[in-house]
Homo-oligomer: A and B are copies of this chain.
Amino acid sequence: MKIAVLGTGQVGQTLAGALAALGHEVTVGTRAPDATLARSEVDGFGNPPFRVWVEAHPQVRLATYADAAAGAQLVVNATNGRGSLEALELAGAEQLAGKVLLDVSNPLDFSAGMPPSLFISNSDSLGEQIQRAFPDAHVVKALNTMNAYLMVDPGQLEGGRHSVFVSGDDADAKLTVIEVLGSLGHQDVIDLGDISTARGTEMYLPLWARLWGALGTPMFNIKIVR
């Protein structure tokens, strides 16, 4: 499948690398490819600049948000939640129309320091805002409840026996995402319902952040025992 991964941060890199390794034709989208490749500093989490990652993944193309989305069947929003709507505007509504838009972002608000709160919650979600802004895209919220390494390799913990959620209005789009999740090794995919159920998974993030603090590692996930 032709996949666009929007976002060059750790989540975008990890998803793009894993999807390319599965044989997909992956293009990473960024605001300005030349500027992204010119960066030489490590990011705030100590990760090397994007060009180091690109050199290690020659099969992955880098393009503008719009060019990446234009050629894709599946578009993954792996941008920072604060910048997601703007990045998707740059990708362009016409490039997203009719496509599956897998949204893995979270509306995290770090303005008061750690742990973050949410800048959207309760009566709305970032997933819904994206769906409203791009009514012709088929938005599916998923994977936003775990860190990037577990998104692409859930088998690292208890043989992958933990849970991941999908929220979205379009049944076929959810099936496409569920298939991708399965190919990454996810064994327990729970369909929560329409895109408004993204409020549930996004509002889990404050617990996730505190669990990271309490456990001393982000390598954990929830299993729904039932």
Contacts and interface: CB of A to CB of B under 8 A. Distances in A.
Interface residues of A, number: 42
Interface string A22-58: 0000000000000000000000000000000000000
Q: How many copies does the complex hold?
A: 2
A204 B211 CA distance: 12
Given A121-B122, A122-B117, A123-B117, A157 B225 contact: yes
A222 B222 contact: yes
Given A117-B122, A121-B122, A210 B217 contact: no
Interface string A193-223: 1000101110111111111011101011111
A191 interface: yes
Given A121-B121, A122-B117, A122-B121, A213 B193 contact: yes
A118 interface: yes
Contact of A225 (B109, B213, B222): B222
Contact of A203 (B112, B157, B158, B206): B206
A222 B188 CA distance: 13
B203 A207 contact: yes
A161 interface: yes
A171 interface: no
Interface of A: 109, 112, 115, 117-118, 121-123, 157-158, 161-162, 165, 190-193, 197, 199-201, 203-211, 213-215, 217, 219-226
